[in-house]
Structure 1
Amino acid sequence: MIRYKILAAVFSVIVAVAEEFSLLKLEPASSNIESEEKWLAIPEPPRATPIPLPTLKVSASVYHPEPHQTDSTPFITADGSRINRRDPGKHRWLAVSRNLHARWGGDLEFGDSLWVSGISDDLDGLYIVRDVMNRRFRNQVDILVGRKDKVMGFWKNVGIAKFEQPTQRSAAVAVTN
């Protein structure tokens, strides 16, 4: 909240200084033409058209970081990330079945962001791939939640799409056009 107040104060000072300097401009006395204020036109950046991402239909379930649902190290994921013991669901991490992971011939890797849709308003959204599932599962994702979340279920026809973030170079090109 204090950041907004500071930002508003700085903006007010800039506006006051700009108005002060515009009043100090001297126009030649011989000019009879009324002066018009000219504002600098700032072009609106081009709107990025959403790129349809290829969506894969999978099944989805939830898992808790417990030894009988994971391996002997339930608070360490397959990529070495450590799970918060108090609130595992805050990470927004998921495990993918091995056939989806690049190590076993799939397209997903650890650290990839996936957009998950088709479960519920609370569980749909952006997740990061941090774990893999047991080899008996195929075409499935497992969402990490905590016992306190009280979420259980199995969902079919859940859509996942790899979420590509724009690179710095492409963002700079979009601004200059």
Structure 2
Amino acid sequence: MKEKDTDVYKWHTIEVTASAYNSLKYQTNSNPSIAAFGDTLKPGMYCIAVSRDLLKLGIKHNTPIKIEGFDSIYLVKDKMNARWEKHIDIYMGTDIKAARNWGRKKVTISYGLLKEK
């Protein structure tokens, strides 16, 4: 998504806990490349999983997300287990070292909801 394409969104900000995940069987399930919304995940994609409580804020499949500390805009492609709240999981392909180095931290995210016409 290009920065100019973000003009159609009204941006909302929230603080969440952010961790990272990889598309590996032991971290997800027997088909780690298929996300909860049915998307096929590939290393290099800018996508995240969100806790289900964030869906109630209007965040849904393909909602654009700006994450503090990152330049790229991420898209929601996955949902987390219901036990998590105010949490995102940043997809880091198969780079286990990058995911471990990220760890878990509090970050501010901005999510874009389409402006009403």
Which of the five TM-score ranges fits, normalised by the shorter chain? 0.7 to 0.9
**Bigger RCO of structures 1 and 2 (CA < 8 A, at least 6 apart):** 2
Partner of 1:131: 78
TM-score norm. by structure 2 comes to 0.77
Unmatched runs of 5 consecutive residues or more in structure 2: 1-8
Residue 56 of structure 1, CA deviation: 0.5
Residue identity in the other structure for 1:155: K
**CA–CA separation in structure 2 for the residues paired with 1:100 and 1:129:** 11
Of residues 143, 146, 157, the one that matches 2:93 is 146
* Secondary structure of 1:150's aligned partner: helix
Q: Write 1 or 2 for the structure with the bigger share of strand.
A: 2
Q: Write 1 or 2 for the structure with the bigger share of helix.
A: 1
Q: Which runs of 4+ in 1 moved over 4 A?
A: 164-167
Partner of 2:31: 73
Q: Deviations along 1:81-138, whole A, 9 cap, x unmatched?
A: 1122xxx1x110100001112xxx3321001111111xx4xx4531000000111111
Taking the TM superposition and a 5 Å limit, the aligned residue runs for 1:4-153 are 53-84=11-42, 88=43, 90-101=44-55, 105-117=56-68, 120=69, 123-148=70-95, 150-151=97-98, 152=100, 153=103
Identity of aligned residues (%): 31
Residue identity in the other structure for 1:147: T
Q: 1:166 to 1:53 in 2, by over 3 A?
A: closer
For these two proteins, the number of residue pairs brought into alignment is 107
Residue identity in the other structure for 2:104: F
Q: Deviations along 1:42-63, whole A, 9 cap, x unmatched?
A: xxxxxxxxx9832010000100
Q: Deviations along 1:3-39, whole A, 9 cap, x unmatched?
A: xxxxxxxxxxxxxxxxxxxxxxxxxxxxxxxxxxxxx
Unmatched runs of 5 consecutive residues or more in structure 1: 1-50, 171-177
Q: CA RMSD in A?
A: 2.6
TM-score norm. by structure 1 comes to 0.53
Q: Deviations along 1:60-82, whole A, 9 cap, x unmatched?
A: 01001122221232100111111
